[in-house]
Amino acid sequence: MKLVAGLGNPGKEYEGTPHNVGFQAVDILLEQLGLSGFQQKFQSQLLRTSLKGEACIFLKPQTYMNRSGHAVAECANFFKIPVEDIVVISDDLDLPPGKARFRDGGGHGGHNGLRSIIDSLANRQFRRVRIGIGRPSGKRDVVGHVLGRWSKAEEKLALSAIDLVLNELISFLETSKFENTSFTAS
């Protein structure tokens, strides 16, 4: 069984913000797969399905970013999902919009959602898909940037990056192959 958790904050006011790119990636992936019908479970929106015979769970924690680990760990523990079969999709300030990176394990890099998951799982070996949102420009602070609105150009680049990673993500779900790699949208 595989678990894909997209990180974000619940609520209309956070929809379409850079910090919710993990939720957005899960939504686009499910749309591509022709799946819908989230249920509320494990403090999350959850969709359970099968891809080529492999059981998969898609999760959007509704605990707010800083407590994402509670929901991810609750689901992983209930279904006894090994940490290497967990993929977390999150935003990344250190990658520019249009860039995405797959990675096995690692630290949290200052991302509070990843920190929460590492703490809750007591393990940092889960897989990550990091989607670039870039650092704020000018005098804008980080919080204002991640919870603000994309520019049209940034949003287009982010959506292109999401499109690039979806095929790799589907391949992982179907075959368990996961390679540390980067993608850049044009």
pLDDT at residue 82, as a whole number: 94
Tens digit of each residue's pLDDT (9 = 90 or more) over 6-56: 999 999 999 888 889 999 999 999 998 898 899 999 999 999 998 888 899
**Per-residue tokens: 9:** 């904050």
Tens digit of each residue's pLDDT (9 = 90 or more) over 55-97: 999 999 999 989 999 999 999 999 999 999 999 999 998 898 8
Is the model's pLDDT at 186 over the cut of 70?
A: no
H helix count then E strand count, the chain: 5, 8
**Span 163-179, mean pLDDT?**
80
Structural domain of 87: 2-184
| Contact between 178 and 127 (Cβ < 8 Å) | yes
Core vs surface per residue 54-82: b (16+ CB within 10 A) or e: eebbbbbbbbbbebbbbbbbbbbeeeebe
- The CATH number assigned to the domain holding 154 equals 3.40.50.1470
The residues carrying an active-site annotation are: 19
Tens digit of each residue's pLDDT (9 = 90 or more) over 115-131: 999 999 999 999 999 99
Pairing status of strand 44-51 against strand 54-61: antiparallel
Q: How many domains does the chain have?
A: 1
In 3D space, the residue among 75, 70, 64, 73 whose CA is nearest the CA of residue 39 turns out to be 75
Is the model's pLDDT at 144 over the cut of 90?
A: no
In 3D space, the residue among 154, 103, 106 whose CA is nearest the CA of residue 132 turns out to be 154
Is the model's pLDDT at 178 over the cut of 70?
A: no
